[in-house]
Structure 1
């Protein structure tokens, strides 16, 4: 397989008075799952459509393995994409939908059966598309994207319509594909799922890059948002001791105090000095949802 690195450089798209994407640059590496995150209107789908030559950029470039999508010799064997729930003729069965694509693209007919099994739709292969649930349509779309055994996968909200079991299946599939050395770029609003799935993150807002890095790097960049959870039978004494150190102390409504502005050892030392008994002392790092909201706060879509 050829190098599947995705490079977005200075990518810009203007629609009349709207800057949907604004001088955006980032890279997506092979062998990893990269989460592409941003609020509604951030420019995620527009970026993916420019990458796939469905929208012409105002400026900048987006390349796959060093080439624009339009210049790829065999794009369907290089890139598999799902930008929306699969659409198909309502009266056609799922397996026949895939066989039609195989015929048109020159893929072996048996690939339809192979990818149907990969996405867990073999029991529904002979059901008509009109009877498919949204989750089944998502699986069928991913099956179609895999027909060419592509090096690169680009998926826009692939978990839409999937139940918890389906979401876990999706996570396992995408991780397995990345482990094979493929490039996997996934946009999603399911932040808790992206924290489990992704190796790397690209976060945009108002068409601009806000943060890029591994999940750990992005989370650690907001380490100042970490808080210490502490429980004590001497709430007033501990609160006084901590506020004297300019820490912020807030009851969490569950019998514990949340402390910001001082680390866990500092809380412990303050409690010892004040003669306060502690029943719990835990550092709570922000989850991806909280980090995402902090990074994108106030960065509404440009109009």
Structure 2
């Protein structure tokens, strides 16, 4: 807030997951997982269905006991934090509340239980844009409003660390844009923001770093641009030509891989666009389009996790 009381508290908010494992009878939900989440950045936590994301977050918050390994926040287990509400805010599902209670009263009950000033409830509602709905009963809230109320509850203690599981679920495009700006703003204040999501295009806009897991294992971690740029093919070249057969034959002589999309364009990997242009010139092939298609986060994610989605 403008008066400074919402600035993050002192101390590091680094999250460290080390060798984390969770075994459920014959299913290993999380398998020797290690990664770090740094303060001052938004980290996207990504994986296909059944990858172990929610189980990992629940172990991080001491809601599930690990079979092996550790998960710490600022060097401590969540259960060992002196004042967890003031250190960590978490939303693992849309906010739940008594259906007859208003949004503001729901937050005031939490404040009373946590020993926080009642005015924090009003401030938190304003922070997430729910002040106009403060006196509406919870049963009349949309899913998107419930998501915002959950985030307001997580922010009551002015935490250094925010952990959110699918926070954009139920939000309309305007709400998603608001969420992006809100979380980026928290990270800019030096807070640690860990966000699990299936909205990969939104993650590419929101996240500074990503942690990608599949079948309980880490498959890639790093800044978004580096993860996207790390793919071996580095993108593909899209070509449109009336002489597709001639160009395909010439490119394959250069060890390029050539496929055709539904619209008849050639999709070339293994060589870059200038090489395609030189090959076309040498073969006297007319080009109508020549463009490099860079991989995006969704494409990289699907390639890294191909065949690893499981239903657990």
**Is 1:18 aligned to 2:20, yes or no?**
no
1:76 pairs with one of 85, 89, 98? 85
| Equivalent residue, structure 1, for 2:304 | 295
For residues 203-229 of structure 1, the C-alpha deviation after alignment (integer angstroms, 9 at most, x for no partner) is 111111111111011111214162101
> Pairwise mapping of residues 92-171 of structure 1 onto structure 2 (< 5 A)?
92-171=101-180
- Matches of 1:131 and 1:302 in 2, distance apart? 33
TM-score of the superposed pair, with normalisation by structure 2 = 0.94
> Is there any run of 5+ residues in structure 1 with no aligned partner, and where?
none
Query: What do you get for the CA RMSD once the two structures are aligned?
Result: 1.4
- Matches of 1:252 and 1:300 in 2, distance apart? 26
| Equivalent residue, structure 2, for 1:278 | 287
> Is there any run of 5+ residues in structure 2 with no aligned partner, and where?
1-9
- Matches of 1:89 and 1:205 in 2, distance apart? 36
C-alpha change, 1:21 and 1:302, in structure 2 (3 Å) is: farther
- Matches of 1:209 and 1:245 in 2, distance apart? 35
| Equivalent residue, structure 2, for 1:208 | 217
TM-score of the superposed pair, with normalisation by structure 1 = 0.96
For residues 253-291 of structure 1, the C-alpha deviation after alignment (integer angstroms, 9 at most, x for no partner) is 335321122111110110111122323221112221111
| Equivalent residue, structure 1, for 2:5 | none
> Pairwise mapping of residues 44-55 of structure 1 onto structure 2 (< 5 A)?
44-55=53-64
Q: How far 1:244 sits from its partner (Å)?
A: 2.4
Q: How far 1:300 sits from its partner (Å)?
A: 4.1
Residues 223 and 285, structure 1, Cα contact 8 Å, conserved in 2: no
Residues 200 and 298, structure 2, Cα contact 8 Å, conserved in 1: yes
Residues 206 and 302, structure 1, Cα contact 8 Å, conserved in 2: no
Tell me the number of residue pairs that the alignment of Structure 1 and Structure 2 aligns. 303
Residues 49 and 311, structure 2, Cα contact 8 Å, conserved in 1: no
**Is 1:196 aligned to 2:205, yes or no?**
yes
> Pairwise mapping of residues 245-284 of structure 1 onto structure 2 (< 5 A)?
245-284=254-293
- Matches of 2:67 and 2:264 in 1, distance apart? 55
Residues 18 and 302, structure 1, Cα contact 8 Å, conserved in 2: no
